[in-house]
Structure 1
């Protein structure tokens, strides 16, 4: 097969997905809207350390307050989207964001902590809304490349947002950067309000308000997907910290940006390949592979270029794992509760990152940098083994149902 033909075959799923009306606009807005959101952590850290003259531990507490708030508020906002529609939630969260980011520079540290928690619980739900809208507008057979594109857009946002925040803090000030980040988030909310992407499919009545009990949709299989989502981002959060620790220990901390960029590029390449394949991959299998490929990264050597090479296999699994989990949640959740389910998925992702970074840091402080990779990778793999029986039971039931003979209608005349 010629290279031209192979390129055409690989691009076909993406062309089919991007042909869906409205998807291009949604993905473009998603990239731009997520940039200020990905800059919030770095900006708040610099503000607490530089302007409030506190330590990094105090800055970490502010970040933790935002994270805990987001983990609690995500499913609640998703449920509100399901019941009241998208625009009222966007108005509520955009106002909350505007209030927080305009008042934060004038708050003392004791007031900033609870304000950060409230802001996190009412954070603009860009991540979950975009994934919910993809499920609503894209047919199931084209969702894999659509979610792969979404996952790659997240990588782009994380490549741009934190770096841009650092540049702004360096060039201007942390206090001014707070205002700029807040303005960007509010602008993202306005843009999403104007675009108003669908949250229900065309075949699903927009006025549908049927209440679906949680026991009907929060099944063991969906819980398993949420668990591996947490495990995957735990591995990613731990890897982020461990990379910095390894480079610092070897005296090559100046190469941190280059190493993390290679990691992100590998993730983009993996996400592209995942969207181009014609067969669904289990998020459980991808998370297990991610964990296993992360364990030996610290053995790659002390040189930055060896660390880059060791990161590539795990990096290539990052975007596919997140995309596969998002796709699985969209298929398992009924349309009536898709917003709440996506909110739960967002909380699972947030909790994983929040646990992974400090866990890796504690392990590194107690031992050596390479153990940051080992412990977080092993823990991610362990979670997949714990939920593996759920997946095996599902497949066994599917095979049994496929082999069962069809039930024939009873045509025997009834006797009197």
Structure 2
């Protein structure tokens, strides 16, 4: 594909509108972490550890709620599934700026539990609205827009919190969250195709045997999502620690922007290609790409290493999401995408403290190494497991073909083959 593949994608019915709606709706979710931290530290006069408890409560709520909310979307459709979220979020964010610390911890958990699932819904809708041949481009562009969201939203949150007040910033986050949910309800992008229930078909139109949802391939991909998040948060923590250790805290902002810029470039290139390595290979490359930052001198070489480490970020996430929606049955796709969000949250929750612990006891460079080697190592193990499972399936399929009458067995063996 060339750059025209993006133009062709955006000319598909309602796809451009979905990207715009998703971008707007994701902004408050990307703001909330920094705004809550600043509110706890400045307005409530608590420490950063206590601010971390509030952010952690929100994260735990998101991790628990994502699969449940995805299942609701699968069962009841988008509007009926997110209407309760909008009501609960309205109440929580009206009260949150005026709560004391302990009540805010509870409110943050509830807000995370009922957070409108815009990240997973957008990807679920893309899987329905975009033909299979264009989904690589679609998910790559989605990952690029997510990167842009996380470049813009925290800056806006910090400006509101520092130039106006954290109470105003929390109020804006709440209004944007509720408004985003209402906007998503209005847009109502499809989360299911119009194919009659029970008429599942393979790409060539033949009926498919109903399969177990959480098979080995899908579970390995979910673990890869956790590994990718581990690498990303570990890189983030290590970069901040490296710059602080070198006495250059003012460089944090533009270094992170450079890292995200590398991800944007990588994502655009990935989406314009006609083929790419499998997602687990990309996850391994993501881990490997972080390692040079551990040895890079300040500041020019570290900047270059950070940009290079960003290149595989969006391609890895896009490839994981595109493969997940192909593996998941349509009637369970929202739940699966919810579990993907949960596993990403788990990776983040493990990566930040582990890399921080290593940095405290050794050096910031060791944090980069930990992020890269652990995340990349998990991807390599996933590849080994995946190949072993596929080899066993191939052997079982061959035995079935030899032992059974010609006909239906061949169809079953082809349909259940991995990666299709």
**Structure 1 residue 112 displacement after superposition:** 1.3
Shift of 1:66: 0.6
Q: CA deviation at 1:391?
A: 2.3
TM-superposed deviation, 1:311? 1.4
- Give yes or no for contact 1:259–1:304 (8 Å, CA) kept in 2: no
- Residue 113 of structure 2 corresponds to residue 158 of structure 1: no
CA deviation map 1:208-258 (0-9, x unaligned) = 9xxxxx981101110100001000011100111111110111111111111
Query: Which residue matches 1:198?
Result: 190
Paired with 1:408 and 1:344, the residues of 2 have a C-alpha distance of 39
**2:414 alignment counterpart:** none
Q: Quick check: 1:143 aligned with 2:135? A: yes
Task: With the length of structure 1 as denominator, give the TM-score of the two structures.
Answer: 0.90
Distance 2:406 2:215 in 1: 30
Counterpart-to-counterpart distance in 1, 2:14 and 2:305:
39
Deviation >4 Å, runs of 4+: 204-208, 397-410
Cα gap change, 1:215/1:367 in structure 2, threshold over 3 Å: closer, same or farther?
farther
Matches within 5 A, 1:338-353: 338-353=333-348
Question: Which residue does 1:369 correspond to in 2?
Answer: 364
Give the 3 Å change call, closer, same or farther, for CA 109–207 of structure 1 in structure 2: farther
Aligned with residue 256 of structure 2, among 253, 256, 260: 260
219-228 vs 10-19, which moves further:
10-19
Q: Specify which of 170, 189, 194 is matched with residue 178 of structure 1.
A: 170
1:79 aligned residue (68, 71, 74)? 71
Aligned counterparts of 1:251 and 1:204: Cα–Cα separation in 2: 62
Distance 2:211 2:5 in 1: 35
Pair 162,10 (structure 1): closer, same or farther in 2 beyond 3 Å: same
| Deviation larger for 228-237 or 360-369 | 360-369
CA distance in 1, matches of 2:169, 2:282: 37
| Bigger Cα displacement from structure 2, 271-280 vs 199-208 | 199-208
Corresponding residue SS for 1:281: coil
Matched position secondary structure for 1:296: helix
Q: What's the CA shift for 1:22?
A: 1.1
Q: Equivalent residue for 2:278?
A: 282
2:264, 2:122 → 1: CA distance?
A: 19
After TM superposition, the structure 1 stretch with the greater mean CA deviation from structure 2, 43-52 or 27-36, is: 27-36
Residues 11-55 of structure 1: per-residue CA shift (max 9 Å, x gap): 133233223211100001111111111000000000000011000
Specify the alignment match of 1:383 in structure 2.
378
Q: 1:319 is matched with which residue?
A: 314
Match of 2:44 among 32, 49, 52: 52
CA distance in 1, matches of 2:125, 2:95: 32
Equivalent-residue separation in structure 2 for 1:134 and 1:206 (angstroms): 21
Shift in Å at residue 314 of structure 1? 1.7
| 1:225 partnered with 2:221 | yes
Gaps of 5+ in 1: 1-8, 209-213, 411-416
1:104 is aligned to 2:81 = no
The whole-number CA distance in structure 2 between the counterparts of 1:122 and 1:207 is: 32
1:41 aligns with one of 33, 40, 43: 33
Distance 1:162 1:207, change over 3 A: farther
Distance change (3 Å), C-alpha of 1:261 and 1:328: same
Q: Identify if the C-alpha distance between structure 1 residues 175 and 207 changes in structure 2 by more than 3 Å, giving closer, same or farther.
A: farther
Look up the match of 2:22.
30
1:6 matched residue in structure 2:
none
- Alpha-carbon deviation of 1:340? 0.2
Structure 2 residue 56 is the aligned partner of structure 1 residue 64: yes
Which runs of no fewer than 5 residues in structure 2 stay unpaired? 201-209, 409-420
Could you tell me which of 224, 239, 259 is aligned with 2:235? 239
User: Match of 2:13, SS?
Assistant: coil
Q: 1:407 to 1:394 in 2, by over 3 A?
A: farther
RMSD: 2.3
Deviation for aligned residue 1:167 = 0.7
Query: Aligned in 2, Cα 1:375/1:38: closer, same or farther, shift over 3 Å?
Result: same
SS at 1:385's partner residue?
helix
